Amino acid sequence: VLDQVFYQKMQSVLSPEELSSIFLNLRQVYQLHECINAFLCEAMKKRRESPVVQGVGDIMLARAEAGDQFEEQVSRLCSQQSQALELIKNKHHKDPRFSHLIQECEASPHCRRLQLKDLLVAEMQRLTKYPLLLDNIIKHTESESPHTHTSRAQARCRGILQAVNEVVRETEHRHRLGQYQRRLDLTPLERLANPVAAQFKVRAVPCASQYGR
């Protein structure tokens, strides 16, 4: 939905930098989800050859333990969501063309009455659902072996969620620090010949320029 309904159309009203700020590595994340979905569908197809599916813990564990690339890409995407939402809000107020196009896109039945800001945070919300899903499976699993696999998969999913949350927090803290530094008035320091003041100016200016991009 984000790619076909929003990204493709928004290329006419946003610069490449703005598109990257909002969607970043969206396509890479989608490709990873497609691989995971294909793997699960193929594995479950074999399980359905019998009338009763005995367990899915080993399948989920295999995907969870191979999730390093998934963790990295999702961390990148989720860590930029605050800045993306801020950019969308500013463009809404300042650019009538952008505002009109967003409303047109959000009216698509594919959006299911969700706004762009709701769809952007869906990835983070999906991450929180995996441990809950596995927890529910554990509660209804009687066999010990699948239960063990599912518990390990749940622990790995929680680890991925925790790692992503940490990256998001660090990115937001750096972004906020950059905002504070851009507001600093360095004029009094520029008049001082004190070595400490000079050192502060050297550190503050590059950091402010980094987050001013």
DSSP 108: S
Q: What is the pLDDT of residue 14?
A: 92
Mean pLDDT per 10-residue segment, the chain (213 residues): 87 91 87 81 72 68 77 88 90 92 92 90 86 86 67 88 90 82 67 59 49 42
Q: What is the pLDDT of residue 52?
A: 59
- Tens of pLDDT, residues 142-173: 665 556 888 888 888 899 899 999 998 998 88
Helix axes 144-183, 81-94, angle to 10 degrees: 50
Q: What is the pLDDT of residue 58?
A: 76
Residue 111 CA: distances (Å) to CA of 1, 6, 11, 51, 91: 7, 10, 19, 36, 20
Looking at the chain, the whole-number percentage of residues with pLDDT higher than 70 is: 79
Write out the two tokens for 87. 């950019």
Cβ atoms of 178 and 210 within 8 Å: the answer is yes
Burial of 190 (0-12, 13-18, 19+ CB in 10 A): exposed
Query: What is the pTM assigned to this prediction?
Result: 0.69
Instruction: Please compute Rg for the chain using Cα positions.
Output: 23
Task: Give the chain's domains with CATH numbers.
Answer: 2-183 (1.20.900.10)
Q: What is the pLDDT of residue 198?
A: 57
Cβ atoms of 92 and 98 within 8 Å: the answer is yes
d(CA 154, CA 61): 8
Q: What is the pLDDT of residue 95?
A: 93
